[in-house]
Amino acid sequence: KNKYGYQTEFLQAVEEVFSTLVPVFEQHPEYIEQNILSRIVEPDRIITFRVTWQDDQNRVHVNRGYRVQFNNVVGPYKGGLRFHPTVNESIMKFLAFEQIFKNALTGLPIGGAKGGSDFDPKGKSDAEIMRFCQAFMTELYRHIGPDVDVPAGDIGVGAREIGYLWGQYKRIKAMHEAGVLTGKQPGYGGSLVRKEATGYGLIYFVEEMLKDANDTLSGKTVVVSGSGNVAIYAIEKAQHLGAKVVACSDSNGYVYDPDGIDLNVVKEIKEVKGERIKKYVEYRPNATYTEGCTGIWTIPCDIALPCATQNEIDGESAKILIANGVKVVAEGANMPSTPEAINEYLANGVLFGPAKAANAGGVATSALEMAQNSSRTYWSFEKVDEKLRDIMRNIYRTSKECAEKYGAPGNLMVGANVAGFVKVADGMIAEGVY
């Protein structure tokens, strides 16, 4: 805390994990003897670099690039790239730290990393995005590789950006190492279902949570924050399974549609035109738009799915959700609930699906993309989707069983943290002190 007191998001993520580990140390004193806690919070390395690029008027700009290679005990470093003006070392470290345990929980051979830049993609032309991605990769390429570190997308980095990054990597290396990046377009190295995977996986996870409560998604009212990659495909799968999604948002405000969100309109606005969610009301006259983000949690719902960004549900918003009868909160975004919000869920019997478990479908499908790239084959949509569903079921079961084993039945946050931690800690001990 003394050393990293200014890295508030990183400390928050570490505290969330460590606060759930006490029963683990009672059963595994070797973790204390081996000083695992001090070792696991220090990233293997943090790479930071200058990214210089030119806009369409030939003006020169400078941004900071990051790659945090946190832990590769379970497999090559793996984690997304985020392009957003709020990116700093604390955000990169919190995301990479979370990624270690999430990736371990998938059961697939992937370690934990994260990267990105404080570059703001909003309002940039396609050519500017391309030049930025090329400049970013011109430094990053020397630190990554299919068996070293495999980046993917995150906020502000979708298939278009991955395409430009991949093109530049290939140009520099003069090698077709498709497995160096995931989230590529199907047709040039990408996997079917990767685009949908985090959102679909989130809903598969919610399905499992509800099944254990003898319930289903059918007829449930759902609020989803965000309108990006995770949000759109969470809405799509929730609707497939009979839920009614009534709201979604972007960083300016949220829309409420009492007739149920028309996903084609959201896709048209966000995926095709790259416009603000505010435009939704021009297509759907019964819908309303409200400026500001937190108000979305005042809309009564059975299921709340935060899919935008960190700390978007605070204690007050959680209290309102609970007063309005929310039954399930499952996290599509990383660390969207503050510690106060999580305490409210747990104290009031809300079924809580923590990010590490509930949003692991994206990275799991990225690992399936790596497997396809290594074996130089493509799998069908149905095959990848079925594997994703199995992986989400396994993550749910592992988290549930682990929570029971360590004295916190029903607490999936404890279960997910402990299951991920034990796997990584055992690997660290097996690999010796270094």
Residues with catalytic function: 114
Does 154 participate in binding ligand NDP (rule CB under 6 A)? yes
Interface with ligand NDP in residues 350-369 (CB under 6 A): 359, 362
Which of 20, 168, 221, 309 touches ligand NDP by CB under 6 A? Answer: 309
Query: Judged by CB, which is closer to ligand NDP: 7, or 138?
Result: 7
Question: Any contact of residue 201 with ligand NDP (CB under 6 A)?
Answer: no
Query: Residue-wise over 159-181: b if at least 16 C-beta within 10 A, else e?
Result: bebbbbbbebbbeeeeeebbbbb
Q: Does 337 bind ligand NDP (CB under 6 A)?
A: no
Residues annotated within a binding site for substrate: 78, 99, 102, 153, 366
d(CA 328, CA 349): 9
Residue 43 in the binding site for ligand NDP (CB under 6 A): no
- CB nearer to ligand NDP: pick between 221 and 309: 309
Residue numbers in the known binding site are 78, 99, 102, 153, 198, 229, 366
Q: Side chain identity at 26, as an amino acid letter?
A: E
Beta bridge partners of 152: 80
Is residue 238 a contact point for ligand NDP (CB under 6 A)?
A: no
Q: Is 153 in the site for ligand NDP (CB under 6 A)?
A: yes
Contacting ligand NDP (CB under 6 A), which of 20, 72, 138, 198?
A: 198
* Strands, E assignment, 30-152: 45-54, 60-71, 77-83, 112-117, 149-152
Indicate which single residue of 163, 189, 190, 226 sits in contact with ligand NDP (rule: CB under 6 A).
226
Concatenating the DSSP letter of every residue in 293-324 gives: SGGGGGS--SEEE--S-TT-B-HHHHHHHHHT
**Please, are residues 368 and 379 in contact by the beta-carbon 8 Å criterion?**
yes
Kindly tell me which of 352 and 406 has the beta carbon lying closer to ligand NDP. Answer: 352
Stated as kind and residue range, the H or E segment containing 243 is none
- Is 151 a binding residue for ligand NDP by CB under 6 A? The answer is no
Whichever of 366 and 411 has its CB closer to ligand NDP, that residue is 366
Regarding beta strands 221-224 and 244-249, do their DSSP bridges make them parallel or antiparallel, or are they unpaired?
A: parallel
Q: Residue 75 interacts with ligand NDP (CB under 6 A)?
A: no
Q: What are phi and psi of 33, to 5 degrees?
A: -55, -35
203 and 381 Cβ atoms separated by less than 8 Å: no
Please choose, out of 3-11, 151-159, 234-242, 254-262, the segment that lies near ligand NDP by the rule CB under 6 A.
151-159
**Where is 247: in which H helix or E strand?**
strand 244-249
How near is the Cβ of 221 to ligand NDP at its closest, in Å?
20
- Interaction of residue 308 with ligand NDP, rule CB under 6 A: yes
Look at residues 198, 162, 203 and name the one whose alpha carbon lies nearest to residue 179.
162
Rounded to 5 degrees, what are φ and ψ at 7?
-90, 75
Q: Of residues 230, 261, 303, 368, which one binds ligand NDP by CB under 6 A? A: 230
Q: Does 227 bind ligand NDP (CB under 6 A)?
A: yes
Beta partners for 191?
none
Cα separation, 175 vs 249, whole angstroms: 41
Site for ligand NDP in 155-184 (CB under 6 A): 155-156
- Sign, CA torsion 179/184/185/186: positive
Contacts of residue 323, defined as CB under 8 A and 6 or more positions apart, other chains included, come to: none
Q: What are phi and psi of 197, to 5 degrees?
A: -60, -45
Are 42 and 395 contacting, i.e. CB atoms less than 8 angstroms apart? no
Calpha distance 380→391 (Å, rounded):
17
The binding track of 250-279 with respect to ligand NDP, each residue x by CB under 6 A or -, is xxx---------------------------
H-assigned helices in 107-224: 126-140, 159-173, 194-212
For residues 30 and 275, which CB has a smaller minimum distance to ligand NDP in the complex? 275
Binding residues with ligand NDP: total (CB under 6 A): 23
Q: For the CB of residue 343, give the shortest distance to ligand NDP in the complex, in Å.
A: 21
State the minimum distance, in angstroms, from the CB of residue 362 to ligand NDP.
3
Residues of span 388-407 touching ligand NDP by CB under 6 A: none
Contact residues for ligand NDP (CB under 6 A)?
153-156, 198, 226-231, 250-252, 293, 307-309, 332-334, 359, 362
